[in-house]
Structure 1
Amino acid sequence: MSTPATAGPWDAGSQHAGPPSALFARAFERHEPIEGQRLARVAVDILRPVPVAPLTLRVRTVRPGRRITLVEGVAEADGQEVLHARGWRLARGPQQPSGSGADPGSEAGAGAVPALPPVSAARPWPGVHAGGYMEAMEWRFVSGDFVEPGPARVWMRPRLPLVAGEETSPFCRTMMIADSGNGVSARLDPARWLFVNVDLTVVLHRDPRGEWVLMDAVTTIGPDGAALAASRLSDHDGPVGQGMQTLVVTPR
């Protein structure tokens, strides 16, 4: 059963896509698990707004294997399909040396991760609904905020577990956070424009450690109503992966 804490910033009756996307990650981690595999990538397509209502998830294995497994799922609400998703689980291999110099995107060459700032005094979300998900997450902005247009860096963590009584897994926690990339890096006034994502893809090259995730997000807007929000995701030890959202941009 979805709670009001999942309500998104555009409509109090529709969920932010982060929590239901994280439910897929949870289902993919638990569906026919294979020892030694970890979830590395989840891609979610948003077919229509997800109501703050009970959701039913159906999951199946598409491609089983000891080294790689592909799973997919469908989420339904009120008898309608609202989300489709696919996830890749990969076998954990031998520990790789960090900072060998072979990979320019390795953690060693990524630059220092900014420290967690004190409680943020960022200006509040100016969109339609400032409760729900916006209050269920803790935000600590390093640069930018909800009002200042352009790129932003923000440390985030959920104040609530994904499922009551359970510890939220690192991948699920990151999925809850990553869908906020388009909001924190908004290039347009949300009181005048909609820039809603139709999908979310998260790839993690390692599991994040700790409860905080740093999102370094940039939105690029095209000339004809499409946009891309790309987020670099890190923990206190360095980068952990990437998030990406395709956006449709329309005036209110």
Structure 2
Amino acid sequence: MPSTTAFFTQKQGELVPAPHARGPWSPDMLHGRLLGGLAARALEERHAEPGLHFARLTVDLFRNSPLLPVAVETTLVRDGRRIRVADAVISTDQGVIGRASAVLLRQSEQPGGEQSIVTPAWDAAPPEGEPVTSEGWKPPFDLWRLTEWGAPGPGRVWLRETYPLVDDEPVTPFVRAALAADFASPLSNVGTNGLGFINADYTLTLARLPEGELIGVEATGHLSAGGVATGQVTVHDTAGPFGFCAVTAVANPIALISR
């Protein structure tokens, strides 16, 4: 395990990134997964309520940002008896770099009967042995590949966070899911020549929150034409599938990631 140095330190209302908050595309660019995590953290802190479940989180990543202090503002859009909607805006002193929208739904008694279609649990056991290592950018989280990178067929990985997101705060299940969801793009959009797409957003839908530290991601679809892609994954924990994630992505062949 690495040191417990968090990705961000909170100082005077801003979140100051550590060097390992960078992403794989550029040595001075904030990783998009962390913006989704920060949005989830702020939305959960300010708008969560017992009995209301975070059923959807959409994160728009429309502007790259260097490693600058980040601020997250949230707005309550709708607060009804069974639904709550809240937005988040993520910004630096250079302007807005992303936004997010969350839908919280009131939990209640599960309807009777059987569903006509149910996503099955995958057959992947919890990982054994050391996480993968790679040349170049090293993921600041534990990663176990169950399939070869870029091989034909559905890709599968297990992920585990190894750093706190902010200071020494525990990573909550919702934030953990938001961080893992960004891996939907590389897993669903990788090709035999490597990863030639960079995602512009992701939408995570959750029937329940994940249990434990391990999150499995399984690619279940990819379509692309004219340099525009859409991909989808199923997210699992050791108890079974708990949600889906869909992404849109744009071709980025100059910075193609091959490993």
TM tier, smaller: 0.7 to 0.9
Alignment CA distance shift 1:9-1:218 (3 Å): farther
SS of structure 2 residue aligned to 1:31: helix
Q: Is residue 88 of structure 1 aligned with residue 103 of structure 2? A: yes
Q: Is residue 222 of structure 1 aligned with residue 224 of structure 2? A: yes
Alignment CA distance shift 1:94-1:120 (3 Å): same
SS of structure 2 residue aligned to 1:8: coil
Separation in 2, partners of 1:175, 1:33: 15
Alignment CA distance shift 1:104-1:165 (3 Å): same
Amino acid at match of 1:104: I
- Of 166, 169, 179, the residue aligned with 2:169 is 166
Structure-1 residue corresponding to 2:134:
124
Render the CA deviation track for 1:216-237: whole Å, top value 9, x for unaligned.
0256242301111211001111
Q: Is residue 156 of structure 1 aligned with residue 159 of structure 2? A: yes
Q: Is residue 36 of structure 1 aligned with residue 36 of structure 2? A: no
Separation in 2, partners of 1:4, 1:105: 42
Structure-1 residue corresponding to 2:202:
200
Structure-2 residue corresponding to 1:138:
142
Instruction: Give the TM-score normalised by the residue count of structure 2.
Output: 0.84
- Of 80, 85, 89, the residue aligned with 1:65 is 80
Deviation of 1:195 after TM superposition, in Å, equals 0.8
Q: Count how many residue pairs are aligned between Structure 1 and Structure 2.
A: 238
Structure-1 residue corresponding to 2:12:
none
Separation in 2, partners of 1:218, 1:36: 31
SS of structure 2 residue aligned to 1:54: coil
Deviation of 1:137 after TM superposition, in Å, equals 0.9
The runs of 5 or more residues in structure 1 that have no matched partner are none
Alignment CA distance shift 1:40-1:111 (3 Å): closer
Does the 8 Å CA contact 1:55/1:76 hold for their aligned counterparts? yes
Separation in 2, partners of 1:219, 1:6: 29
The answer to which of 54-63 and 27-36 deviates more is 27-36
Deviation of 1:172 after TM superposition, in Å, equals 0.7
The runs of 5 or more residues in structure 2 that have no matched partner are 1-15, 255-259
Does the 8 Å CA contact 1:214/1:234 hold for their aligned counterparts? yes
SS of structure 2 residue aligned to 1:233: strand
Structure-1 residue corresponding to 2:7:
none
Separation in 2, partners of 1:208, 1:188: 31
Does the 8 Å CA contact 1:113/1:236 hold for their aligned counterparts? no
- Of 57, 62, 87, the residue aligned with 1:47 is 62
Q: Considering only aligned residues, what root-mean-square deviation do their CA atoms show, in Å?
A: 2.2
Separation in 2, partners of 1:112, 1:148: 19
- Of 179, 184, 190, the residue aligned with 1:181 is 184
Give structure 1 regions of 4+ aligned residues with deviation exceeding 4 angstroms.
Answer: 120-123
Alignment CA distance shift 1:198-1:188 (3 Å): farther
Render the CA deviation track for 1:31-51: whole Å, top value 9, x for unaligned.
244332121111011121132
